[in-house]
Amino acid sequence: MKKILLIEDDLALSLLYEEELKNDGYSVVVAHDADSALELVKNEPFDLIVTDIRMPGKDGIELIANVMGLRKDIPIIINTAYQSYKDDFMTWAADAYIIKSSSLDELKAKIKELIGN
Amino acid sequence: MIERYSLQPSNFNPETPKELVILSIIAQSFFQPFSLEDNLLVILTALTAGSGIGFNRAMLFLNDGMKLKATTWLGPRSPEEAEAIWTMLSSPGIGYAEIVAYNRDLVTRMVKDIQPRLKSLVYDLESRTLPLPAAAAVNKEIVLVTEAQNEPVVDSNFIKFIQVDSFLCLPLVAQDEILGEIVVDKGITHAPIEARDIELARLCALLAGNYIYTTNLYKKVVEMEKMAALGEMAAFVSHQLRNPIVAIGGFTKQILSSPCQPDRCRRNLNIIQEQVKHLEDIIYKLSHFLKITIRELQPVDVRPILLNLVERPDIKLKAARKTISLKINENLPLIQCDPIYFEEAVVNLLDNALDVTPEGGKVYLRARPYNDKYVLIIIKDSGPGLDEKSRDKLFSPFYTTKENGTGLGLLFVKRIIDTCNGKLEVQSKPGRGTMFKLYFKIQERGPS
């Protein structure tokens, strides 16, 4: 089973994503901030990271930079409510940039494209 | 040996060369919070002060879009008036402020009879056959006109207006941009315009051009900042609204998509309800925040407000199993604010302080005079404190560390304090708690 690390500070949204992705057959680990996510990356193997940008403490961009220092090979999807950063996301070494929507189809399709299921 | 001098020139001894006095007066204007119009008036005065450079009258044109428009004409209309002005300007101790006040008055008096006629002096800078004086601005060169009647390139309407034969056109240019023009003459003394006059006039024109340029630039920057702030605000608002909307949509979809377990359905509906409440909260606070306008600051006695505030049921509930340490000086002076907004600002901070203080911990609320000018309110928590990064983000809109926070509270507090002309300081270190210091200006006592 493919294992996804989901970083989302909003509790309702993290629950929604966790349930929906588990429903699609993935194993999902949730972190609510960048520091605890980094601890997880150090200790567990993940097939994919889905992260928000804006959160308390380190933001998603810093998180990505730190993950790159630990494990270069994990694909990363930015899943955010910000539309304005979309043009820059390639420079952050993320593999995809998805704007949060109540339909998770785009997110799910991207995950499937990157790691299959 | 060390000698110290003030940056701002004050009185000169009588031997100081006139040119230096004039430039010093103009230089003083850099230190004054006067408007562009006032500063330009000083330059016009320097040009026309009888004992100064030696021109008698100066007309200012400004570039308004693509048109050069006459806006001010300064100078005496008769030798008698000239005598009065020059005597005044050469009296000892005359400084920048006096000149501005005097000239404002002079221009206002002249406005009635001259202004309507002055308006007729408008030149289209795009025009192919532009006469003098406007041609000087377009060609960016100083032009000395003598025997104007014989020169077809001089606008006859302009000659009729100023009624002199000789005048000097000084273009106002900065960074290659045409900003205006000053035309000076010696219509009262009828003395010839000499090379030395032109040298000094050139200097005045360069300074005036720079004044206009920097003022325009400043206006542009302010406008751009406003637009940038608006754009940022819009991005933050849409971000903030999107999260709860996505949650509502997502959980609704779950309910609708498959045969829903009653437990799951109920849970989803609860989440949806919470998210709707959160949205309402954001919208309420946002509109509340945008609405803060205090029409008139009033004297506020903070002691009773603060004493009352810690008895509020919402505060008491939060303060259960925590201590609020209260020290409010008696006989505090009145501050300038609005009682309702003052209370809201303090409640907001106290609320935050109670949130982050662990059970058994203390929150400190203090009020005391500071420095004869302020009343200082201190709110300190026993929470985890903030690192430098979080402290910098503290006042950015929608920044929150609370699960259901809107990230507008502190912004709201700051806005209230700004509106009351107060000051806000934050001191915080990880592990040491956070302290907010609010300085409110003391209401000055009017004559009783």
Q: CB distance from B215 to chain A under 8 Å?
A: no
Between helix B302-309 and helix B339-356 the angle, nearest 10°, is 40
pLDDT of residue B281: 82
Asked if the ipTM is above 0.90, the reply is no
Q: Supply φ then ψ for residue B273, to 5 degrees.
A: -60, -45
Half-sphere exposure of B263 (CA within 13 A, CB side): 0
Assign domain B18-220 to its CATH architecture: 2-Layer Sandwich (3.30)
SS3 B442: strand
Indicate the domain borders of chain B: 18-220, 223-291, 298-441
Q: CB distance from B243 to chain A under 8 Å?
A: yes
For B70-102, b/e burial (b = at least 16 CB within 10 A) is bbbbbbbeeeeebeebbeebeeeebebeebbeb
The answer to whether B136 and B169 are in contact (CB under 8 A) is yes
pLDDT at A16 over 90: yes
Q: How many CB pairs under 8 A join A and B?
A: 56
Contacting residues of B for A52, CB less than 8 Å apart: none
Tell which A residues from 28 to 47 touch B, by Cβ distance under 8 Å.
Answer: none
pLDDT of residue B200: 84
Contacting residues of A for B403, CB less than 8 Å apart: 11
User: What are all long-range contacts of B143-149, with beta carbons under 8 Å and residues at least 24 apart?
Assistant: B143/B168, B143/B169, B144/B168, B144/B169, B144/B193, B144/B198, B145/B169, B146/B193
> Who's near B402: CB < 8 A, 6+ residues apart?
B355
Question: Does A19 sit within 8 Å of B246, measured CB to CB?
Answer: no
Q: What is the largest CA-CA distance in chain A?
A: 34
Question: Does A102 sit within 8 Å of B249, measured CB to CB?
Answer: yes
CATH number of B298-441: 3.30.565.10
Give the other-Cβ count within 10 Å of B273's Cβ: 11
Q: Which domain holds residue A61?
A: 3-115
User: What are all long-range contacts of B149-153, with beta carbons under 8 Å and residues at least 24 apart?
Assistant: none
For residue A100, give how far its alpha carbon lies from the nearest alpha carbon of chain B (Å).
Answer: 7
Please give the model's pTM, rounded to 2 decimal places: 0.51
pLDDT of residue A27: 96
The CATH class given to the B223-291 domain equals mainly alpha
Q: What is the mean pLDDT of each run of 10 residues along chain B (448 residues)?
A: 73 68 72 71 77 77 88 77 70 67 71 74 87 92 92 90 91 90 89 87 88 85 76 74 92 86 90 91 75 75 93 87 93 90 90 92 94 92 87 74 72 85 90 93 70
Contacting residues of B for A54, CB less than 8 Å apart: 239
The minimal CB distance from A81 to the residues B242, B271, B401 is found for B242
Question: Does A10 sit within 8 Å of B243, measured CB to CB?
Answer: yes
Q: Give dist(CA B152, CA B155) in Å, integer.
A: 8
* Radius of gyration of chain A, Cα coordinates, nearest whole angstrom: 13
Please give the structure tokens belonging to residue B63: 């570039």
Mean pLDDT of A34-52: 94
Tell which B residues from 339 to 398 touch A, by Cβ distance under 8 Å.
Answer: 390
Count of the separate structural domains present in chain A? 1
pLDDT of residue B95: 64
pLDDT of residue A77: 94
Give tens-digit pLDDT for B42-89: 788 778 865 556 788 889 999 987 889 998 888 776 777 767 766 776
For residue B105, give how far its alpha carbon lies from the nearest alpha carbon of chain A (Å).
Answer: 53
The answer to whether B170 and B55 are in contact (CB under 8 A) is no
Q: CB distance from A13 to chain B under 8 Å?
A: yes
* CATH code of the domain containing A64: 3.40.50.2300
Q: CB distance from B252 to chain A under 8 Å?
A: yes
The DSSP H or E segment spanning B371 is none
Q: Could you give the percent of chain A with pLDDT greater than 70?
A: 92
The minimal CB distance from A56 to the residues B235, B243, B401 is found for B401
SS3 B27: helix
For residue A19, give how far its alpha carbon lies from the nearest alpha carbon of chain B (Å).
Answer: 10
For residue A40, give how far its alpha carbon lies from the nearest alpha carbon of chain B (Å).
Answer: 21
Residue B163 burial by CB count (10 A; 0-12/13-18/19+): exposed, middle or buried? exposed
Q: Residue B259: which region, alpha, beta or left (left: phi > 0; alpha: psi -120 to 50)?
A: beta
pLDDT of residue B447: 46
